[in-house]
Amino acid sequence: MEQGRVDAPRTSRVHGMSSSHILKRSNAGPIRRRPWVRLAATLVGALPGLSHAAGLTVQVSDAAGVALVDAVVMLEPAAGGAPVKPMADVEISQLHKQFRPRVTLITTGTRVTFPNFDTVRHHVYSFSPIKPFELKLYAGVPNQPIVFDKPGVAVLGCNIHDNMVAWVVVADTPWSARSAASGRAHLDGLPSGAYQMRVWHPGMGVAAQPTTVALTLGAADVEQAVHLPVKAEP
């Protein structure tokens, strides 16, 4: 498979703010800070990544430069994984014999419900290794949600309607985003450091490895362009 193309990142300039008050010595001795000022400064300094949080905007396009919707961007610390919590229950519905949304991005351990809003019954299934399951012919809402407890990509289908297809991307990182129709995906509040950015799109196939980019983030916001070896849908 052709490797994705990655453009050099661009950083926006961050302007520091000059202090309006400087402590000076006088004949009477040094000016003392008030206790609450010292406490506030201590608390601010103790919050990890607060003064170094950055934003990352990724423009995802196909090989011809056309914007790709439903691309998934996942950012993982180069030094090791970050703690991940399951999201609140997520819904993938069936309406007009289609899954909605087409691509669902969740974190490991998240529960997903599959309500059927059609007047016909559906048989939802996945044979993907990360979560094989079946919800046999049903209407309404199944009694139990499906827990996606392994990272990776699961493709969904309906055993009755072959044209129904969707994807669940399970991210093992707290920093991930799905691209809009503009092809842009945005992540906020990223601590400074070295990362591996992985970008995947349904057009690459479930078994395809995501395009990987090494990034180093500081206090400045970063814009990164990625071109995937797929063709955007008309």
Q: Are residues 127 and 233 in the same domain?
A: no
Which of 26, 18, 94, 76 is CA-nearest to residue 210? 76
- The pairing of strands 98-100 and 93-95 is antiparallel
Evaluate whether 159 touches 37 at the Cβ level (below 8 Å): no
pLDDT in tens, 87-139: 999 999 999 999 999 999 999 999 999 999 999 999 999 999 999 999 999 99
From 172, 202, 221, give the residue that closes a domain: 172
228: domain CATH number is 2.60.40.10
100 is written with which tokens? 């909605």
Question: What's the one-letter identity of residue 54?
Answer: A
Domain count, the chain: 2
Which residue's structure tokens are 């990776």?
Answer: 152
| Peptide bond just before 101 cis, omega within 30 deg | yes
164 is written with which tokens? 């129904």
CB neighbourhood size of 210 (10 A): 21
- Alpha-carbon distance of 51 to 26, in angstroms, equals 32
Q: Residue 216: beta bridge partners?
A: 194
Q: For residue 219, tell me if it sits in a domain.
A: yes
Containing structural domain, residue 127: 84-172
Q: For residue 91, tell me if it sits in a domain.
A: yes
Q: For residue 147, tell me if it sits in a domain.
A: yes
pLDDT in tens, 176-202: 999 999 999 999 999 999 999 999 999
Does residue 1 have a pLDDT over 60?
no
**What is the DSSP-derived secondary structure letter of residue 53?**
-
